[in-house]
Every structure is written in structure tokens, then in C-alpha cells.
Amino acid sequence: MPKPELLETFPNPYPGREYEIAMECPEFTSLCPLGGIESDADELRALRGGAPDFGTIFITYVPGDVCLELKSLKLYLWSFRDDGIFYERAVNRILDDLSQASKPRWMEVVGDFNIRGGIKSVIRARAGDGRRAVGDGGSKDRDT
């Protein structure tokens, strides 16, 4: 289960300047929520989801009053490892949680996932317009 309470921030050292922070997280893992391939479905039940999914998460944002602390971000992303979650939900959940924690002026999260079943998926979600801090992060109906 994703744990947004792990996220920490620190004061933006240049709050009056608009600048961009870009991070690449190449070790993102979660579980396919649909149970995986039938021939190994019994073994996959032990994973509480399906086969593992792997991808790279790209986070780009213009900070408001605070910046995201990197170690806490790493721990937060690791909290997805045992979660059965669709790519689309994972990327939007990450955007919502990071936006809620840091209130950036603008943020984009991209999930570039490894090929599964012969199909490559890249999911992109954005919040904010760059002129003011992102409010509550967006989605009101996300899983908790």
C-alpha cells in the first residue's frame, strides 16, 4: 500500500525564483493487479497481486515554498512494491501524493513502464499551471 506519510519536504532555498527540479527513479516496482499468467497463478497468489511490474518514474516540478526530500521520496516509491495497481492509477496516485505534500507551482509525473504482453506503456499526468501552488493534488476518489 502506498504510504504518502513517508514524504518529507524542506524549505525551498529560492522561493522567489521559478526553477525546475527533475528526478528520475529507475527502480519503480509494483504488482500487476490482475493475477498474471494462468500457468503460474498459484505461485502469484503469494505476491498478493500479480506478476511484478517494473518501470522508471520521472518527476518534474517547479517548487513552491518547499521541495521534496529525496530519501523520503525513495521510501515512498518503494511502498508501491507490494501493491497491486494499474499503471494509470500508480502515476496519478504519485502525482496526487507528491502534489499534496509539496504544493508545487507545477508538477508532471511520467511512468515509463517495461513491456508487458508485447505492449509498452508510458503514462503522463500533470498538475498546476505554474502560476500558483497546486491545491489539494487533484483526484478526490483515489484509493487510500
Instruction: Just list the catalytic residues.
Output: 32, 53
CB neighbourhood size of 42 (10 A): 8
With beta carbons less than 8 A apart as the criterion, state whether 59 and 22 touch: yes
What separation in angstroms does the CA of 18 have from each of 10, 61, 86, 130?
A: 17, 10, 33, 9
- Angle made by CA atoms 120, 139, 126, in degrees to the nearest 5: 50
Among 137, 128, 91, 85, CA closest to 112: 91
Residue 90 near residue 80 (C-beta atoms within 8 A): yes
DSSP designation for 81: T
